[in-house]
Structure 1
Amino acid sequence: MNQENGAEIIVEALIERGVPYLFGLCGHGIVGLMDAAFDRANRIEMVSVHNEQVAGFMADAYYRVTGQPVATFTSCGPGSVNIQMAVATALHDSSAMLAITGNVPTDQFNRMPFQELGQHFQADFVTAMRPYVKRSFQAPRADMLPAIMDQAQDVMVAGRPGPVHLDVPFNVFTETVDVERADGAAPAATFRPQADSEAVERALELLASAERPLILAGYGCQVAGAGEAVRALAEKLNIPVATTPQGKGAFDENHPLMLGPTGRDGVYAGNRAARGCDVLLALGTRFGDRSTSAWEPGITHDFSAQKLIHVEIDPDRIGRNYRPDIAMAADVGAALAQLLKAAGEKGIGPLQKAEAWLKRAQGWRGDWRAAIAETAGCDDEPIHPDRAMAEINRAVPDGALVLSDIGSHHSWMVQQFEVTKGRRLFQSGGFATMGFGVCGALGAQIAAPDKPVVAVVGDGGFLMHASAVATAVEYDLPIVWVVWNNGGYVSIRDIQKGYFGAERTCATMFRSQRSGAPVSSDFAMLGKSMGAEGYRVTRPADLSEAISAALAARRPAVIDVRMEANAVRRTAGGWNLSPLKGAPPNYDPDPHLA
């Protein structure tokens, strides 16, 4: 038996599971945990930030890069309320983290002390967190913590990964109890359910009989680390592959079988093939409105004339938006391994009947790329987004970690950023949270200190979370932020224009309320004021050079890029906000389904 206080139990349990970092922000309610981490600084490192959301976004990105969950620490009251947005983002994007929040001492429950949330129940922060986590635990006694820590760290990674919350009253951090520790750490729970073998057989038969088969790789392929398995099945059967926007990067986008993303921000080949196929193997997707063009038949999908095989680890996501002909509630990687094994045993190879279909699909990909190239060389100032994407693709090196924030730039990133040559793209897809790209870059760089990290962010999102730059300077993290400076919340302004009319935009552009003149921050100067490098780019030809120079300097850097706010993006998908109808695709040279 060892004598340990509650904080020591928590920190030791994290260390046993290999957790290397605690990301967070100090506060009186969490100092007990911080004290235990102080004594163990050689085994677990605290990283301090300037806003609790930053810590949550960092933990989210760290997990996406490494597959290893980390923990956050925040104080009671506003300190922990502030992390909820980042935790919700992690839940929507299947990212595991342990959010540890401090609370008021148990002997002050129901007395409404400083920062207690107790309107309906004492120390009630667990209720506030319930919608955003897989499970919320509260430990009113220190002797409950060993079991809670085992359960919490298992729940995070079991099935679909996600955030878990642990709420600890102040006195529990310092209360001492007897703890019996087994030799060695308990193994982390892993749950990778396989598909029903009969469903695998039927799915393979349906694919083998198809004339126009398509694989749709969703974000579940990324979460499961199944990109190589997707490629292996596609190559074995010679089937083209599209991705959902969040699944972008499941494997190299220059691969001849890769058609690109579907939906609102997708490309022509992805959408055209998705609506024209006769059998769709959908892997790890919930068929959300953004990836399906708001379920409008004939734009991205038309299941009145298609067969659907749906593989998804969460049973409650199967059939929610489209009823499958064959359903597999399974881990994507496990199901793909079963399909590959069965294909090998049955001697099923390239599908001869699908050769003409594949050639047509590759033609659609070539047509789309040729259309994009027409404006990718534009020399206009401010910079046209198509040209900006060409320069970003040129400058981002092989193996780089790239994060996109949310804003108008995100649509161009989904369409045109090339996830090739070992590059990885991370984005907030489910919750679409401004700040993930700005702040998550810190977690990505800590996770992969030797890799280049580039965050492409909007001016709106960067203004919300610019403190991330100060943290990068403090911890010597050589992140490059490319700020897409178009003077406002342009994606929302465009929605106003599309649904209500061009003359009915309001509260979306950054302008002086007195004169109406544009108001734009000097983000290069802002970066310099915090100790980072700062670059201002107004000419298209200078953008790739600025990114390359910033990466070579190996210091935190902010690149302020003056962007054209009124450029029209080519669209091959759509998006409706019921009851309002969005604009139809403006690029559709071959609208026939078959």
Structure 2
Amino acid sequence: MKKLISEQLVTYLESRGIKHIFGLCGHTNIAVLAELEKSNIKFINVRHEQIASHAADGYARVTKKAAVVLSHLGPGLTNAATGVANAALDSIPMVVIAGDVPSYYYGKHPHQEVNLHADGAQYEIYRPFVKRAWRVDQAELFPEILQKAFQLAESGRPGPVLVSVPMDIFSTKIEEENFRLLQHHTQVVEKPALDEETAARIVEKLAKAQRPVLYAGGGIILADAAEELRQFVEHMNIPVAHSLMGKGVLPDDHELTLGMTGFWGTSFINEQTKHADYLFGAGTRFSEADSSSWYNDVTFDFPKTKLIHIDIDASEIGRNYPVEIGAVADLKKAFTALNRVAKRLYPNRIQRNEQLKKEIIHYRQTLRERISENVNSADFPMKPERILADVRRVLPRDAYITTDVGWNKNGVGQQFPIYTPGSILTPGGFATMGFGSSAALGAKLADSEKVVVSLIGDGGFGQNPSVLATAKEENIPVVWVVMNNSAFGTIAGLEMAHYDTTFGTRFQSDGKSYSPDFAAIAQGYGIKGIKIDSAEQFQVALKEAIAANEPIVIDVAMKNEPVPTDGKWNINDIYSPDDDKSHVSIP
């Protein structure tokens, strides 16, 4: 029996367990929307496609399955592109289904088509950052392409894919048998494990090392391997440093947790990784910020330090540093094998690093003392350290935090304890403004029982304030804390340090500092908004907002002070090659 592809598409998505789809309407995808109305799948309607792709990103980080975005052609697809690229650089699985021009109008330049260089080629726009982009040229091929899209998005190194569908194909009828065949195919492709021989080599190297450090990246979270990692490092007694994306793989109050490395890391942590004799990198790209721009005397010192590296993506092995042992494997399976071998070769827990554990305790105490004045400051606008400390005091250990860029990302990475693996959602590779406010929607929809707070700057929140419309319509109880310094603060501090100006980075009107009233904006969307007037008010307001279980915006004025930077970033040497400069405070 023949049925519309739009109908069979929705039935297929239901069979995959899809509960939510994020998107925005357009004349090319309304056939799908009409079918979704009959479905138990919830369509999350947004006012800008970037919100859809960021929300889907947050959703996928929590569920660890491919999220679905439904987009219109042309401006819909390009609006969503930033969020899809963000997902790509952070290895987040996503399937973007986009309407396209009618297949029989290729070459005629129909409404909203991008075709200055080729006809019927809108899918090419996504080619640089998705794992694959398909254009459906035959209706009968659509089911096969859809199955391949989900499989590719979730296999290997996860990431987004695009399926561009001419609108006439959505409205074409094909035999149900084309989709039924997919029922005989697995929805999960098994990932490679670590063989026993390689696992034994790694365990023996680490057991005999004098100063081993395990360096964890976001791949641990993506593979849901945090528990297996914890068992391994406790048995082997190895300290754990991490990248920004790896924050939370081990609770920040665990005795073996060192902390985040790199430019926004601290000297203590960078020294531990730099002086390690063996560094075991797991699920990390050794990206620039985490590696202090790959200077060999700051965060890492290869090849003096010997590197063991496991990742699901073979292209990352040896990309930035030479490796002694490199292996391609799923991290959960890899640590399962490593634990099995470690317990066989060394039945008793390895005894070492007792002095280092004391040093870690001392370091944490020293860091608390270093920032205590600002943490306890009653100044208003508030000190950023106090904002973070007050948020941490109020939140449950397993609450989700989403961030953007600036203090709300770098400060969280450095100073904000995360206790539950996967509970910090931050834009790593693309460092996208606008991510945090939208990703919070997806996180809350994916795990409705958990508290979700978005820590976001005023610059980032201003990117897509219409996120509040979606929160209101769908009653998504997220709390947005807008850390408001009336500027793109991190860049302002950088420009001031090197050029003695903040031109183009501060928000002003008639020469005076200017900021929208975000609490009033929230009220305009029908959401409660709270404007903080004193440091003492903030923690109380946040606690009440969380208890209210409704979408709420808290606008808190913040002093524009830089995050301490103990590492190095190459841009500082580019701007001021003869001076040791970095970010500075902006009055």
In structure 1, distance between residues paired with 2:526 and 2:460: 20
Match for residue 203 of structure 2? 204
Match for residue 472 of structure 1? 471
| Aligned pairs for 1:374-453 within 5 A | 374-420=373-419, 424-453=423-452
User: Which one-letter code corresponds to 2:204 in the other structure?
Assistant: E
| Aligned pairs for 1:504-543 within 5 A | 504-512=501-509, 515-543=510-538
In structure 2, distance between residues paired with 1:364 and 1:193: 38
Normalising by structure 2, we get a TM-score of: 0.95
Match for residue 590 of structure 1? none
In structure 2, distance between residues paired with 1:98 and 1:364: 44
Pair 1:347-2:341 in alignment? no
User: Which one-letter code corresponds to 2:105 in the other structure?
Assistant: Q
SS of the residue 2:238 aligns to: coil
In structure 1, distance between residues paired with 2:542 and 2:167: 46
Tell me if the contact between 1:134 and 1:163 (Cα under 8 Å) persists in the aligned partners: yes
What's the CA shift string for 1:477-513, capped at 9, x where partnerless?
1110000000110111122123x33x2321000012x
User: Which one-letter code corresponds to 1:434 in the other structure?
Assistant: M
> What displacement does 1:375 show?
2.6
Aligned match for 1:113, one of 99, 104, 110: 110
Aligned match for 1:46, one of 43, 47, 56: 43
> What displacement does 1:397 show?
2.2
> What displacement does 1:448 show?
1.3
Indicate how the Cα distance of structure 1 residues 366 and 238 shifts in structure 2: closer, same or farther if over 3 A, else same. farther
Match for residue 369 of structure 1? 368
SS of the residue 1:291 aligns to: helix
In structure 2, distance between residues paired with 1:442 and 1:306: 42
User: Which one-letter code corresponds to 1:399 in the other structure?
Assistant: D
Normalising by structure 1, we get a TM-score of: 0.94
Structure 1, unaligned runs of 5 or more: 587-594
SS of the residue 2:555 aligns to: strand
> What displacement does 1:151 show?
0.8
Match for residue 189 of structure 1? 188
Tell me if the contact between 2:407 and 2:562 (Cα under 8 Å) persists in the aligned partners: no
> What displacement does 1:189 show?
2.5
Tell me if the contact between 1:401 and 1:444 (Cα under 8 Å) persists in the aligned partners: yes
Indicate how the Cα distance of structure 1 residues 192 and 107 shifts in structure 2: closer, same or farther if over 3 A, else same. same
In structure 1, distance between residues paired with 2:104 and 2:303: 62
Tell me if the contact between 1:383 and 1:538 (Cα under 8 Å) persists in the aligned partners: no
> What displacement does 1:282 show?
0.8
Pair 1:573-2:572 in alignment? no
Which stretch shifts more, 405-414 or 521-530?
Answer: 405-414
> What displacement does 1:438 show?
0.8
SS of the residue 2:29 aligns to: helix
SS of the residue 2:501 aligns to: coil
Indicate how the Cα distance of structure 1 residues 368 and 483 shifts in structure 2: closer, same or farther if over 3 A, else same. same
Match for residue 254 of structure 1? 253
Pair 1:158-2:155 in alignment? yes
Tell me if the contact between 1:10 and 1:145 (Cα under 8 Å) persists in the aligned partners: no
What's the CA shift string for 1:536-564, capped at 9, x where partnerless?
11322221111111111111110000000
User: Which one-letter code corresponds to 1:539 in the other structure?
Assistant: S
User: Which one-letter code corresponds to 1:104 in the other structure?
Assistant: V
> What displacement does 1:580 show?
4.1
What's the CA shift string for 1:402-436, capped at 9, x where partnerless?
10112233211111121126781100101111111
Which stretch shifts more, 320-329 or 573-582?
Answer: 573-582
> What displacement does 1:13 show?
1.9
User: Which one-letter code corresponds to 1:555 in the other structure?
Assistant: E
Indicate how the Cα distance of structure 1 residues 446 and 144 shifts in structure 2: closer, same or farther if over 3 A, else same. same
User: Which one-letter code corresponds to 1:575 in the other structure?
Assistant: W
User: Which one-letter code corresponds to 1:130 in the other structure?
Assistant: R
> What displacement does 1:289 show?
0.5
User: Which one-letter code corresponds to 1:420 in the other structure?
Assistant: Y
Match for residue 92 of structure 2? 95
Aligned match for 2:555, one of 546, 552, 560: 560
SS of the residue 1:131 aligns to: coil
> What displacement does 1:99 show?
0.5
Indicate how the Cα distance of structure 1 residues 3 and 423 shifts in structure 2: closer, same or farther if over 3 A, else same. closer
Pair 1:236-2:235 in alignment? yes
Match for residue 267 of structure 1? 266
User: Which one-letter code corresponds to 2:167 in the other structure?
Assistant: F
CA RMSD of aligned residues (A): 1.9
In structure 2, distance between residues paired with 1:271 and 1:504: 31
Match for residue 585 of structure 2? none
Indicate how the Cα distance of structure 1 residues 584 and 305 shifts in structure 2: closer, same or farther if over 3 A, else same. farther
Indicate how the Cα distance of structure 1 residues 363 and 350 shifts in structure 2: closer, same or farther if over 3 A, else same. farther
> What displacement does 1:348 show?
5.2
SS of the residue 1:505 aligns to: coil
User: Which one-letter code corresponds to 1:550 in the other structure?
Assistant: A
In structure 1, distance between residues paired with 2:84 and 2:114: 19
> What displacement does 1:362 show?
4.0
Indicate how the Cα distance of structure 1 residues 411 and 531 shifts in structure 2: closer, same or farther if over 3 A, else same. same
SS of the residue 1:294 aligns to: helix
Tell me if the contact between 1:221 and 1:247 (Cα under 8 Å) persists in the aligned partners: yes
What's the CA shift string for 1:196-244, capped at 9, x where partnerless?
4333222112111111111111100010011111111111011111111
Which stretch shifts more, 364-373 or 481-490?
Answer: 364-373
In structure 1, distance between residues paired with 2:487 and 2:537: 23
Match for residue 244 of structure 2? 245
Q: How many residues align?
A: 578
SS of the residue 1:29 aligns to: coil
- Which runs of at least 4 in structure 1 moved beyond 6 Å after TM superposition? none
Match for residue 325 of structure 1? 324
SS of the residue 2:566 aligns to: coil
In structure 1, distance between residues paired with 2:274 and 2:157: 28
What's the CA shift string for 1:263-310, capped at 9, x where partnerless?
122234422211121111111001010101111122211124211111
Match for residue 53 of structure 2? 56
Tell me if the contact between 2:528 and 2:551 (Cα under 8 Å) persists in the aligned partners: yes
In structure 2, distance between residues paired with 1:421 and 1:15: 30
User: Which one-letter code corresponds to 1:106 in the other structure?
Assistant: S
> What displacement does 1:361 show?
4.1
In structure 2, distance between residues paired with 1:397 and 1:345: 38
> What displacement does 1:5 show?
1.8
Indicate how the Cα distance of structure 1 residues 251 and 584 shifts in structure 2: closer, same or farther if over 3 A, else same. farther
Indicate how the Cα distance of structure 1 residues 207 and 585 shifts in structure 2: closer, same or farther if over 3 A, else same. farther
Tell me if the contact between 2:22 and 2:46 (Cα under 8 Å) persists in the aligned partners: yes
| Aligned pairs for 1:74-153 within 5 A | 74-153=71-150
Tell me if the contact between 1:210 and 1:353 (Cα under 8 Å) persists in the aligned partners: no
Match for residue 591 of structure 1? none
SS of the residue 1:579 aligns to: helix
